[in-house]
Amino acid sequence: MKIWQRALLLFVVVVAVFAVYLIIQVRQLDVEQITDDLHIIRGVGGNTSVLRTDQGAVVVDSMTFPMQGRLIRAKVEALTGQPVALLINTHYHLDHTHGNPGFDTGTSVVATERTLSHLKVLDTDFWEGDAALLLPNDTFSDRKQFQLGNKTVTVIHPGRGHTDGDLIVWFEEDNALALGDLFFNRHYPNIDLEAGGSVQAWPATLDNALALNAEIIIPGHGATTDQQGLRDFQRFMAELATLGKTAAENNESLEKMLADSPLSADAGYEPITMAGIPIGLNRKFVLRRAWEEATGNVELKNPPHQ
């Protein structure tokens, strides 16, 4: 066998092994029980919250692939003994929404009006054909409440941060709050300036979430925690905002900020990975985003509502 043939064969084997690995990872779903009626499902993508009610299950976010959506739906029915009554998307990113097509057509899908706009404008190709049937069909701008039998579920747009359309989900009777990607617990967050996100506005937005005084705090990525865990992340975002503002006031270059930044509230933070693969959410990324926003060096593709 010639050298090029061996190289090609090795390449094919590596690709096949990697494909099998990805399929295994995508199909893997881990479940954490939070209360008698509330569970968290973790897999490749953002955390999925599941609430059992007398009138069906409430699902918050659907991970990254339609296959995962189908698996989540089956897992939800097994955990709760109920069909899915409500699917909520906390924001537009694919690792929280691309599982939607795995749910039944006709499912009530809740999101903010801004998130629906982002899905249609920034993620157009995915939401064509049958996938469009699982786009959000129940939208709001500020706040909306659902009463499902014995459970009260309130969805709230607390302000700009991760994007300009994020919502949080308040499970009142279970004293729990799911924040989607407004909260990365012990991980560097994605800061989507192009979709109206804001380092500068993020800390105040988290004040609105903290005001609900939820005992259980569910992040979009990372472990379930409490009010103190959310305050620690808020302190990190506030320091990041201050560093960006200071860099802009001092006409500091991006290179200088990256080299000399005294950022310290990120002690112990780890980059996010997808199926073990780094995706660029690290210390350098968040410092760059803070600098870009504060100095105006970012081109907004879909300007935020003011």
The pLDDT assigned to 55 comes to 97
Higher pLDDT, 276 or 117: 117
Q: Which tens digit of pLDDT belongs to each residue from 48-70?
A: 999 999 999 999 999 999 999 99
- Using pLDDT thresholds of 50, 70 and 90, give the confidence band for residue 6: low
Work out the percent of the chain whose per-residue pLDDT is above 90.
85
Are 230 and 206 in contact by the 8 Å Cβ rule? The answer is yes
Pairing type for strands 84-88 and 108-112 reads: parallel
Higher pLDDT, 22 or 226: 226
Q: Is residue 293 part of a domain?
A: no
**Can you tell me the distance from the alpha carbon of 220 to that of 272, in angstroms, rounded to the nearest whole number?**
11
E strands of the chain, at which residues?
Answer: 30-33, 38-42, 48-53, 56-60, 84-88, 108-112, 138-140, 143-148, 151-156, 168-171, 176-178, 216-218, 273-274, 277-278
State the DSSP string of 157-178: ---SSSSSS--EEEETTTTEEE
The pLDDT assigned to 12 comes to 59
- Using pLDDT thresholds of 50, 70 and 90, give the confidence band for residue 304: very low
- Using pLDDT thresholds of 50, 70 and 90, give the confidence band for residue 273: confident
**Backbone Cα Rg of the chain:** 20
What number is the average pLDDT over the span 290-303? 77
Closest CA to 301 of 221, 197, 199: 197
**DSSP letter at 289?**
H
Q: Is residue 83 part of a domain?
A: yes
pLDDT over 60 at 213, yes or no: yes
- Taken as a whole, the chain contains a residue count of 306
Q: Is residue 62 part of a domain?
A: yes
Q: What is the CATH number of the domain that holds 214?
A: 3.60.15.10
Q: Is residue 75 part of a domain?
A: yes
- Using pLDDT thresholds of 50, 70 and 90, give the confidence band for residue 185: very high
Q: Is residue 239 part of a domain?
A: no
SS3 label, residue 21:
helix
What number is the average pLDDT over the span 155-180? 98
The pLDDT assigned to 28 comes to 83
- Using pLDDT thresholds of 50, 70 and 90, give the confidence band for residue 24: low
Q: Is residue 96 part of a domain?
A: yes
Q: Is residue 3 part of a domain?
A: no
Number of domains comprising the chain: 1
Work out the percent of the chain whose per-residue pLDDT is above 70.
88
**Can you tell me the distance from the alpha carbon of 40 to that of 25, in angstroms, rounded to the nearest whole number?**
17
Q: Is residue 242 part of a domain?
A: no
- Which residue range is the domain that position 35 belongs to? 27-230
pLDDT over 70 at 262, yes or no: yes
